[in-house]
Structure 1
Amino acid sequence: MLGLKALAGVAALIGGAHAIGQMTCVSFDSTSSSSDFAVVSNGQAAPIYYSSEDWGGVQLAATNFAEDIERVTGVKPALNNVTTSSMSSAVQSNAYPIIVGTLGQSPLIDAIVNQTNLDVSSIEGQWEAFMTRVVSNPIPGVKSAYVMIGADKRGTIYALYDHSEQFGVSPWYWWADVPTTQHSELYVAATGCAHGSPTVKYRGIFFNDEQPALQNWAMEKFSNGTGAYYTGSPFNSEFYTKVFELMLRFKANYLWPAMWSSAFAVDDPLNQYWADFYGIVMGTSHEEPIMRSTPVEWDIFGSGPWDYSVNRQNIYDFWVVGAERGKPYENIYSVGMRGAGDLPMSSTTDVALLQQVIADQRQILTDTFNGTNVTTIPQMWCLYKEVLGYYEAGLQVPEDVTLLWTDDNYGNIERFPIYSERNRSGGAGVYYHYDYVGDPMDYKWITSSQMAKTYDQMSLAVDREAVRIWILNVGDLKPYEMQTEFFITYGWNASIWTPDNLNSFVYSWAQREFGLTDTDSESITQIIANVSMYNSRRKPEMLNATTYSLANYREAEIMLQEWDAVLNASTAIYNTVSAAMQPAFFELVQHPVEASHTVATMWIYAGINNLRASQARLSANEYFTKVQDLFQKDYDLEVEYHTILDGKWDHMMDQTHIMYYYWQQPMQDTMPYVTYIQPRKDNIAGVMRIVPEQSLGAWPGDNMNDCAQGYSCPNPTLTLDPYIPFQNRYIDIGAGGALPFTFTISTNVSWLDLSITSGSISPSAPEQRVYVSVKDWSQVTGAETAVVNFNATSPGQPMLNVPVTFIANHTVPASNFTGFVEGDGVISIEAAHTSSNTSVSGIMWMELPGYGRTLSGITPLPRMGDNGTNFTAGTGPSVTYDFYNFNTIGQAGNITITTYVAPSLNANGNDRPIAFAIQVDDEAPQTEYFVPYAAAGSLPAAWDGMDGFAATNIAAVMTNFTAAPGAHELKIWMVEPAVVVEKIVIDTGGLLPSYLGPPESMRV
């Protein structure tokens, strides 16, 4: 992670405290420069002028701009809608106005350009570009003005809202209740701000899976409780105008509207009008051709089956209505066809039928637009699921139609345009998910997508020229606010963001939204990174009681500690922000943290309860109660969200999220299964339970996990060597029933250290833990054995003794070795911690900080270096890792290396499957093509299921090598670009099951 000074420095380069990813030209101090233009000074605001002939959306944005100035300063500028001829007489003497307008649309702006010879060549004819600056004598009678010029309608709108954000008005001032920081003085630099055409032409969001949360909320806030006449939908123009303003404020321009029980153009006849008025380009989702909602509108107005092979004319006529209805407005028309209910058209790929569908749709557009060349009408064909199969099977898509490539619904883009597809006039784009309903399981409750992952995938899209359309499935939009803004901001200007400065986005966002100090902004950066990492390890909906190992590598305990740390950090800041700021902080940070912490902790506690019950430990009951409490707290947090600000966001957290029984959401949240031990009954094996680390069993008595036989098992054994990261082992001492007891612990050797040697256990304090470590390894030669005796005494009961065998194995690497050392039969390495890194053809492995499940990832960059080619194993860029092993599997000379790689898919096309190569010492590199084959339009079997790539967010690639005990070099070679390596685990015979793999080994 970047340090505080580095973060502040990067933030200054890409935006000030109130600006993210943009050029800054705003200040609040009149002494900064004598040439600065005063927007508000000494209680007086510069008047704002715009042409009455400019776009309605520009005039509306100018009105909002004036209101934004008042939000910041308390002074509202005079807003004047004027003609060119009336401008001079309208300007008060000695006034220095702000003049706003669009090239070619505002006679006022055109007159200024002509009269002053203002150079607008940097923006003229450019999509959504703008420039601002102080202009002397812009029109007769006006000495100087701050002129804000857009190359087109949205260019002007973005110029206004760009300044509003810099003034201190968050794009989320309404949608996340972010207060505006007050300033009495407000200035802009004479040189102004400017922005050329964005990286991505159409940058949009998609409301999807909007029931129950968004729809219930909108029903309460925007409708009469019954919704639209035909559909019952609450998504009317009052709702959508709130959405349109938000989108424009964070520089989005394209929307797929809510669709599952809604029909945008039917629910409110004004919806299309207001979208166009504001300046939002409308589309429809991948399954809704020609601006018609499917299946909603078809179910209401259609006739016959949704099957083009048997009902062509009725479906054709249905589409004609959509084209004619959308004709007056700015739209991108979805073409192609899917089956009813977002399913495949048929069980077989019918390419000929789809060719007919597209040909007919093109004819409809040609006829509707009065013979206009159809290639000039924006169209999109989304290669979603089986549709990609049709394309790969030979479906010919007109060159002017944008091909929208898609992810796997879990953030891994299935394919990008290959070289031969990059010169299409329609270009390419990406449909990406932060929310999803379907196999292997829904996820739509809380933020669980990593910004680093989004950057990785969308930067690939930039590299491979998929930049015509980006559309993001945002589900209900809340609580994905910050992540959504990053997606759009990256599409607005991808050139300024790199793996090294991603954290500065969150840092600047924290300052903009909450006015935090540098230290607290850095803390928020880490909080957001941690929450998204922990939730992306496995979506909260997919958690269960044994996701994280309860016995091995202290995995579940570390997860609890990590969640506690992030909650404590968030709560500390939440408790210090002002009362006015707390609602925004709660919505954007505290609730996602606390709600995620509650659910994750509850599941782990359920696992502990079940395990301890199976071990006959009375403390299981404590966790029974904790699970119940957390289950209730989960709902309490939901209620808190729904009641802040007098219920403004009531229903927004209605989404169920606990105890899925299959892929679909449960109809009600259900508490995880827990069990209860009879607390009044004596344990038949005795008063004391002994549970050593790495064991699911317990002693004394019988337990299926004590040994294979399950009864008459030997006493437990623990091992320790100097290179186990924790440097100790623990043994839990617990109550087995109602009887209290005292205990003593002793050992027969002097080199063992016990953290405690005596204590007491009772029903009110049923557990204690003893840590066992080696005082001085120099006292241990090779493998030495000790016995740790646990003696329990309870009134009226015989003394109970449980001995634990403890083996200390003093392993030592060669004195001149530097690198990772085996501990506990395994070597675990974070991929970023290389011994060396060698570039080839200007490409080298670079770190993606904060990426993945544990620390970060490494990937070859630049991806299109060496003309985007690949390498044969052993010839490309490489990284090395030095390791030292003392053992091999079964002492037979073999090791197994598991390389944890991101579940990236074969984005280069079927003839370039994603791959890397791995090598140990001088053995031949082994190339790993780790994504199994799948027919086009489908995903590999390894992707699916609760242990698949999607659920685990990892692909674990196992490779076998020979490596006698000693020092070795492991090398990973680039074969294909876009592979991301996160972690490497070398099994020398001691690897134990866990979700994340062992913690990183010690390095000497």
Structure 2
Amino acid sequence: MRKLRKSNLVKNVVLLLVSFQVLILKAQEQATSNFTIVEENTITSILIDKKDSKVVVIASNIFATDVEKITGKKPAISNKISQSESTIIAGTIGRNKWIDAMIAAGKIDVSEIENQWERYSIQIIENPTSTIKKALVVVGSDRRGTAYGILELSRKIGVSPWEWWADVTPTKKESLSLSIKNEVSKSPSVKYRGVFLNDEDWGLQRWAALNFEPETGDIGPKTYGKVFELLLRLRANTIWPAMHSSTKPFYSYPENKFIADDYAIVIGTSHAEPMLSNINTEWKHDQMGEYRYDTNSETIKSLFTKRVKETAKLEGIYTTGMRGEHDSPMIVGEDDTDAQVNLLERVITDQRAILKKETKKNPTSIPQAFVPYKEVLNYYQSGLKLPEDITLVWTDDNYGYIRQLSNPKEQKRAGGAGVYYHTSYWGRPHDYLWLNSTNPVLMWEEMSKAYEFQSRDIWILNCGDIKPHEYNIELFLDMAWNMDDFKESSSVKDHTKNWASREFGEGTASEITDVLFENNRLAYIRRPEFMAWSQVEPVTKEGETELTQYHYNDEVTGRIENYQGLIDATENLYYAIPAYRKDAFYQLVYYPVIGASKLNQKWLYSFKNKFTAKQGRQSANAFAALSEEAYNRITKETDFYNTTLKNGKWNHIMTMAPRFLPVFAQPATSSIANSEKASLGLALEGYQMEVNDKVINSYADVLPVFNSYTNSTYFIDVFTNGNGTVNWEAEPKADWIRLSESSGTLNSDNLEKRIWVSIDWSKVPQGENKKEAPLGHDFQLIPPSFKVNSAIDFISEGKTTAIGISAYNPKFEALNNYKGFVEDKGYVSIHAENYTRKKDGKEANWKMFEGMGYTNKVITALPRTAMPLVNLEEITMNSPVLEYDFYTFNFGEVEVNLQAVPTHAPHTGIGVRCAVSIDDATPVFVDFETTGRSEEWKENVLKNASIKSVKQIVNKAGKHTLKIWMVDPGVMIDQVLIDLGGWKKSYAFPKETVKE
């Protein structure tokens, strides 16, 4: 018994000692240590092994230069160990003898990262060698892991990844030290992460050829070296090089492929460039014949073979399949889908045979991609047999909405899946090649959806010329690096604020974030490049704007004012930014925001010009001048960007008119020449033409009815007809009518004034006390017991013009404590996120995304992997439902208009549907899916909205409930408008008609 007790005691002591040792190790892992890099005359050196990869040398030099930019002192980089108080040791497992020795001695534990893809650890080690007392050790699992670890030190000392590409000058310091907490990086969320340099004709290529790399006269190795450095700093590893005919093929410069390998950057090519071949410029018709596989396959295979021989020993991703020249469909002898599919399968078989022969490897071990872009998706959907090891790279529809993702069976493929995504695009229905106008929260939503559907092998962003896409590039690559940091829509705003804080300081980060998000919101409603209402291929002239100027408080003026607010905020921020960061602020915030604002105002003022000219207003000329002024501001800022900023460093990078499309031109405007004596003119909200002032004291000219339940406001414009000065007065005929101004003077400096009319409801006689609204009346012909009429007299030069005012002020018991939406002017307008109630479903529920949509919030059903519900009984029992209480003064058949984000079904079996009903009616299906590149799809992507209508019955005046059920997960509802016959033409739905 004693022996047993003694044995147990020994065991307990051992367990205590082990536990104690584990606690010590954990404490060491969590402890923060200070490591000095530069202090007075002390400069820490960097120790690397000459046997390590070239990218480790490159990353070490980048970091050393970053230290020099901060302190003026540059750490030495050595391959030899020496006596030292402290040093930085950086290297790859198996490629650095000092790190391998520390691993063997148990001084560092690399079990978490060994044999892993692109991982690193950073830790401080005491006495790592006999001659070094203290070391900051960066260990990489492979060459890129080491490089990322080294450049993580650059981030930690405060150097932006955009230090060179956006001139984010580091903050100067006399000394430099780091507080290091031992860390181990996660495996990247996406294996291959990178960008596609595309449509480079107007920026990147011209800048490289004429400014940065004139010795090459092109995007050559010097330019690519800077691009690859940026990619390393952003923890990317892949590039699809520029491929337009303005640029020589990437492999035509032998140094390009070697510098890519030095930087450990993987080369891939776009959907139109099979087998790393640039068909645009490498295919020579006079020597090679027609680019058709059905008639000229041997010549085409010779091109493929040449490229594989050239790249066999380098890291690359071979794009399989084939499209036609210049991003067009492949030509075959028989114009039918089966023939296309059969030929494409033959192409892929032949390509894999070439890979096997020239690399001496099994093709299953070679990275390959198949990109079902445009018509190729149809071939894939039609049964094309694709080898399981080839990565399926799904694409968006060129406007930010992914066309398809892997179904459960495809998610098990050995090759996995990826995404090719656009923030820049040339093509139908309209280009957006100038500014970065893709909403970052939309990009997050689509890429998080792709990640959820297991697209985790290749992510490529078409970022055009890199500039001005800086923020979205970083967001895209940060998500690809660690998607765990982006679990919520709000993560994007947090990311933006952290980014702004890093670049410009904490003091302005919140304001900068607000400016960028408002710019994103306005661009989501209509991209700047789409403001001419024109299209391309063929290029059309400017069209008629859909924005109304005389309904719903004037959408055109509202947008002008929104952008003016952005301009004012951006200019104020510019003055607050420290001098050494102003150049960066100009590139990352100022120019993109001012450019978008002024392009909008250029067109919006031209719309105002045409509208007011038809009414004979002298202000038409002023609006024409403002439109021209906006155009001139864009010209001025672009010239500054190119010729003055950083002493011309970026000359030729920025073009304000890619492809010289109509949207970038100065709009034609109308001129008013009127020699008559000035007189007062009036224009009312709700009327396209001006008031006919020859009819005196008539109630024919009336503002829309004011509704006490929505606290409506409307405008009256006073303006000059003719030349000279006009004095005016406005006299309300009732004390409950309120005016923003009641008198003024109009002259050449002040040609018009907008007067806002509102109601003091506490003074309006109230209607009869009724339990319910009168049944079925016309809202514009309200019974006298519910409506009070009066007028405003406008007096000028002895003439009086009366404008009728009607106030609807009933007293319904049912609305005394009511919270919800009410009918106003024959419609009910609802923001989808403002539901009255929501009920969770059996497997899904509704959730809000912030930062996208017309209202900056959308509501969606998650998880996206939930099963669709298509049986009506199952929908009403198990589907999540949104409920909106609303109150009407009319009844009958109504149109329920639903506005959704125009996404696509992720795969067969899941659609883009919901179901709606009013009260207890049977739910009606609403399907937002579009077909191919249809006219409906074009309209949807131009306005980032899909609007569908269904008929419903409101069986009586009074309280009702609109219900929206999930049918397919992932459908994003933005706005709802229940039209009882009163909705007028407008671009966006009117503001919410919520009871106040």
Tell me the TM-score normalized by structure 2: 0.89
Q: 2:226 aligns with which of 242, 246, 256?
A: 242
Number of the residue aligned with 1:256: 240
Unaligned 5+ residue runs, structure 2?
1-29, 533-543, 768-785
Q: Helix, strand or coil: the match of 1:803?
A: strand
TM superposition shift of 1:675: 0.4
Q: 1:52 aligns with which of 50, 53, 62?
A: 50
1:384 aligns with 2:373: yes
Is the 8 Å Cα contact of residues 243 and 250 (structure 2) preserved in structure 1? no
TM superposition shift of 1:222: 3.2
Letter in 2 for 1:941: E
Q: Helix, strand or coil: the match of 2:950?
A: strand
Is the 8 Å Cα contact of residues 241 and 250 (structure 2) preserved in structure 1? no
Unaligned 5+ residue runs, structure 1?
1-31, 228-233, 658-663, 707-711, 794-798
Is the 8 Å Cα contact of residues 101 and 149 (structure 1) preserved in structure 2? yes
Number of the residue aligned with 1:535: 523
Number of the residue aligned with 2:666: 671
Number of the residue aligned with 1:820: 821
Supply the distance in 2 between the matched residues of 1:309 and 1:612 (Cα, whole angstroms).
60
Q: Helix, strand or coil: the match of 1:824?
A: coil
- What's the CA shift string for 1:550-577, capped at 9, x where partnerless? 1121222221222122222221111011
Supply the distance in 2 between the matched residues of 1:136 and 1:942 (Cα, whole angstroms).
66
- In structure 2, relative to structure 1, the CA distance for the partners of 1:66 and 1:223 (3 Å cut) is closer
- In structure 2, relative to structure 1, the CA distance for the partners of 1:727 and 1:713 (3 Å cut) is closer
Is the 8 Å Cα contact of residues 332 and 380 (structure 1) preserved in structure 2? yes
Q: 1:979 aligns with which of 971, 975, 987?
A: 971
Q: 1:72 aligns with which of 41, 62, 70?
A: 70
Number of the residue aligned with 1:830: 831
TM superposition shift of 1:714: 8.1
Q: Helix, strand or coil: the match of 1:580?
A: helix
Deviates more, 1:665-674 or 1:121-130: 665-674
Give runs of aligned pairs for residues 302-313 of structure 1, distance below 5 A: 303-313=288-298
- In structure 2, relative to structure 1, the CA distance for the partners of 1:150 and 1:957 (3 Å cut) is same
Number of the residue aligned with 1:27: none
Supply the distance in 1 between the matched residues of 2:759 and 2:294 (Cα, whole angstroms).
77
Number of the residue aligned with 2:942: 951
- In structure 2, relative to structure 1, the CA distance for the partners of 1:714 and 1:310 (3 Å cut) is farther
Number of the residue aligned with 2:765: 779
Letter in 2 for 1:994: S
Supply the distance in 2 between the matched residues of 1:451 and 1:91 (Cα, whole angstroms).
50
Letter in 2 for 1:604: L
Number of the residue aligned with 1:559: 559
- In structure 2, relative to structure 1, the CA distance for the partners of 1:421 and 1:143 (3 Å cut) is same
- What's the CA shift string for 1:956-982, capped at 9, x where partnerless? 121221122212222221111121111
Is the 8 Å Cα contact of residues 884 and 965 (structure 1) preserved in structure 2? no
TM superposition shift of 1:302: 5.3
Give runs of aligned pairs for residues 984-995 of structure 1, distance below 5 A: 984-995=976-987
Q: Helix, strand or coil: the match of 2:421?
A: strand
TM superposition shift of 1:991: 1.3
Q: 1:358 aligns with which of 348, 372, 396?
A: 348
Supply the distance in 2 between the matched residues of 1:143 and 1:743 (Cα, whole angstroms).
86
Q: 1:344 aligns with which of 321, 329, 335?
A: 329
Give runs of aligned pairs for residues 11-26 of structure 1, distance below 5 A: none
1:202 aligns with 2:192: yes
Deviates more, 1:448-457 or 1:830-839: 830-839
Supply the distance in 2 between the matched residues of 1:495 and 1:869 (Cα, whole angstroms).
29
TM superposition shift of 1:547: 4.1
Letter in 2 for 1:787: A
Q: Helix, strand or coil: the match of 2:586?
A: helix
TM superposition shift of 1:190: 4.9
Supply the distance in 1 between the matched residues of 2:551 and 2:653 (Cα, whole angstroms).
38
Is the 8 Å Cα contact of residues 126 and 196 (structure 1) preserved in structure 2? no
Give runs of aligned pairs for residues 706-785 of structure 1, distance below 5 A: 715-723=700-708, 727-777=712-762, 778-781=764-767, 782-785=786-789
Deviates more, 1:549-558 or 1:429-438: 549-558
Number of the residue aligned with 1:631: 631
- What's the CA shift string for 1:718-774, capped at 9, x where partnerless? 133335756322211211112533333334444323444443333443223333332
- Total equivalences in the alignment: 922
Q: 1:476 aligns with which of 465, 479, 485?
A: 465
Supply the distance in 2 between the matched residues of 1:235 and 1:654 (Cα, whole angstroms).
17
Letter in 2 for 1:790: F
Q: Helix, strand or coil: the match of 1:287?
A: coil
Higher relative contact order (CA 8 A, sep 6+): 1
Supply the distance in 2 between the matched residues of 1:625 and 1:408 (Cα, whole angstroms).
38
- In structure 2, relative to structure 1, the CA distance for the partners of 1:582 and 1:926 (3 Å cut) is same
Supply the distance in 1 between the matched residues of 2:215 and 2:551 (Cα, whole angstroms).
53
Supply the distance in 2 between the matched residues of 1:561 and 1:34 (Cα, whole angstroms).
50
Number of the residue aligned with 2:805: 806
TM superposition shift of 1:270: 0.1
Supply the distance in 1 between the matched residues of 2:733 and 2:48 (Cα, whole angstroms).
90
Supply the distance in 1 between the matched residues of 2:950 and 2:662 (Cα, whole angstroms).
43
- What's the CA shift string for 1:918-938, capped at 9, x where partnerless? 222211222212214x3xxx3
Q: CA RMSD in A?
A: 2.3
Give runs of aligned pairs for residues 106-125 of structure 1, distance below 5 A: 106-116=96-106, 118-125=108-115
Number of the residue aligned with 1:885: 887
TM superposition shift of 1:536: 2.4
1:586 aligns with 2:580: no
Is the 8 Å Cα contact of residues 641 and 653 (structure 1) preserved in structure 2? yes
Is the 8 Å Cα contact of residues 209 and 260 (structure 1) preserved in structure 2? yes
Is the 8 Å Cα contact of residues 570 and 593 (structure 1) preserved in structure 2? yes
Letter in 1 for 2:885: F
Is the 8 Å Cα contact of residues 442 and 665 (structure 1) preserved in structure 2? no
Number of the residue aligned with 2:14: none
Structure whose residues are more often helix by fraction: 2
Supply the distance in 2 between the matched residues of 1:537 and 1:201 (Cα, whole angstroms).
34
- In structure 2, relative to structure 1, the CA distance for the partners of 1:862 and 1:184 (3 Å cut) is farther
Number of the residue aligned with 2:147: 157
- What's the CA shift string for 1:42-69, capped at 9, x where partnerless? 4523221010100011111111112222
1:968 aligns with 2:960: yes
- In structure 2, relative to structure 1, the CA distance for the partners of 1:557 and 1:235 (3 Å cut) is same
- What's the CA shift string for 1:637-690, capped at 9, x where partnerless? 111111211111112221416xxxxxx65289421121010032458xxx3321
- In structure 2, relative to structure 1, the CA distance for the partners of 1:51 and 1:584 (3 Å cut) is same
Supply the distance in 2 between the matched residues of 1:908 and 1:628 (Cα, whole angstroms).
48
Q: Helix, strand or coil: the match of 2:63?
A: helix
Supply the distance in 2 between the matched residues of 1:504 and 1:586 (Cα, whole angstroms).
22
Number of the residue aligned with 2:182: 192
Supply the distance in 2 between the matched residues of 1:235 and 1:223 (Cα, whole angstroms).
7
Q: Helix, strand or coil: the match of 1:873?
A: helix
Number of the residue aligned with 1:428: 417
1:456 aligns with 2:451: no
Number of the residue aligned with 2:692: 700
**Runs of 4+ in structure 1 displaced over 4 angstroms?**
723-726, 868-872
Number of the residue aligned with 2:13: none
Supply the distance in 2 between the matched residues of 1:763 and 1:424 (Cα, whole angstroms).
72
1:916 aligns with 2:904: no
Supply the distance in 2 between the matched residues of 1:539 and 1:767 (Cα, whole angstroms).
30
Deviates more, 1:72-81 or 1:609-618: 72-81
Q: Helix, strand or coil: the match of 1:51?
A: coil
Supply the distance in 1 between the matched residues of 2:278 and 2:395 (Cα, whole angstroms).
20
Supply the distance in 2 between the matched residues of 1:882 and 1:265 (Cα, whole angstroms).
57
Number of the residue aligned with 1:213: 203
Tell me the TM-score normalized by structure 1: 0.88
Number of the residue aligned with 1:23: none
- What's the CA shift string for 1:589-646, capped at 9, x where partnerless? 0111111111111211111110010011111111111112111111111111112111
Supply the distance in 1 between the matched residues of 2:70 and 2:886 (Cα, whole angstroms).
61
1:173 aligns with 2:167: no
- In structure 2, relative to structure 1, the CA distance for the partners of 1:556 and 1:142 (3 Å cut) is same
- What's the CA shift string for 1:337-375, capped at 9, x where partnerless? 0011110013533111111100110011011112x1111
